[in-house]
Amino acid sequence: MSGNVSMLRPKGGNPATSPELTDELRTAVDARAAAARELLASAVAEFGGDGEVAFANSFGAEDMVLTELILRLGLPIEIFSLDTGRLPAETYDLMARVEKHYDTRLKVYFPDAAAVETYVRNEGINAFYESVDLRKRCCQIRKVEPLRRALAGKKAWITGLRASQSTTRTGLPSSEYDKDNGLQKLNPLAEWSESEIWAFIRINEVPYNALHDQFYPSIGCAPCTRAIAVGENVRAGRWWWEDPTLKECGLHVKG
């Protein structure tokens, strides 16, 4: 893909981020949250409470639910994030708010500067629009390699993945062995619906990315994220120029 890229920023509120908090929805969220807390506590009991379990926080709505659960429970789970160098300003704003809200300091990993410089020098600043291969190479440098450094020596890592997010995540289990990274991978929110995620956020007054209210349900690097239209899949705005049955950044490898 080449040429101009339009980043949609619609005006007006996004109804998806403010679901009606019915008694039925509140009850469902309570049950989901209890199960997630149990899975998180079990992970610490099984794998250790001295840095063996880590949570990869990308500051999406799902990850903010997990941040709330982990920090409010006081679980000894290391929370880290990947700063690709191309994140939206709103994501950096949220990172600062999280540190103040939870009185914590975030552990942030960055891509290798020399690798980024070489990629940009050889391929171009926005080369990821040109081909799937170049986009995946960019993700490899900015995301996958830093993730591997962050997970080195860990026994388990926690993600905010949900099964209903995309076709690439259908059938997502709550726990699976990650052969690519050599450790257990836990997905406490695998069965949560989008409404349940947002109900939890509203009920518990959890801070979240301002872009969600502008129809950005899934937020990654700024150049590779756009708003979605009503009725589109929640991850339709990620690498929107690619085949939706194949697009992933490489952090979550199957098989």
Q: What would the two tokens of residue 185 be?
A: 């991978």
Q: What would the two tokens of residue 28 be?
A: 């469902």
pLDDT in tens, 196-218: 999 999 999 999 999 999 999 99
pLDDT tier at 1 (50, 70, 90 boundaries)? very low
Task: Supply the DSSP symbol for 121.
Answer: H
pLDDT of residue 231: 80
Residues 65-86 as b or e (16 or more Cβ within 10 Å = b): bbbbbbbeeebebbbbbbbbeb
Residue 221 falls in the annotated catalytic set: no
Sequence-distant (6+) residues with CB within 8 A of 38 are none
d(CA 112, CA 71): 29
d(CA 116, CA 111): 7
With CA atoms as reference, report the closest residue to 47 among 123, 144, 149, 151.
Answer: 151
CB count in 10 Å sphere of residue 21? 14
Ranges of each domain in the chain: 19-224
Share of the chain above pLDDT 90, in %: 80
For the segment 165-180, the average pLDDT, to the nearest whole number, is 78
pTM of the complete model beyond 0.75:
yes
DSSP 165-180: G-GGGTT--SEEEETT
* Residue from 138, 139, 221, 249 carrying the catalytic annotation: 249
pLDDT of residue 191: 94
pLDDT in tens, 60-92: 999 999 999 999 999 999 999 999 999 999 999
With CA atoms as reference, report the closest residue to 79 among 61, 59, 101, 100.
Answer: 59
With CA atoms as reference, report the closest residue to 212 among 93, 103, 116, 125.
Answer: 93
Q: Superfamily for 19-224?
A: HUPs (3.40.50.620)
d(CA 76, CA 56): 14
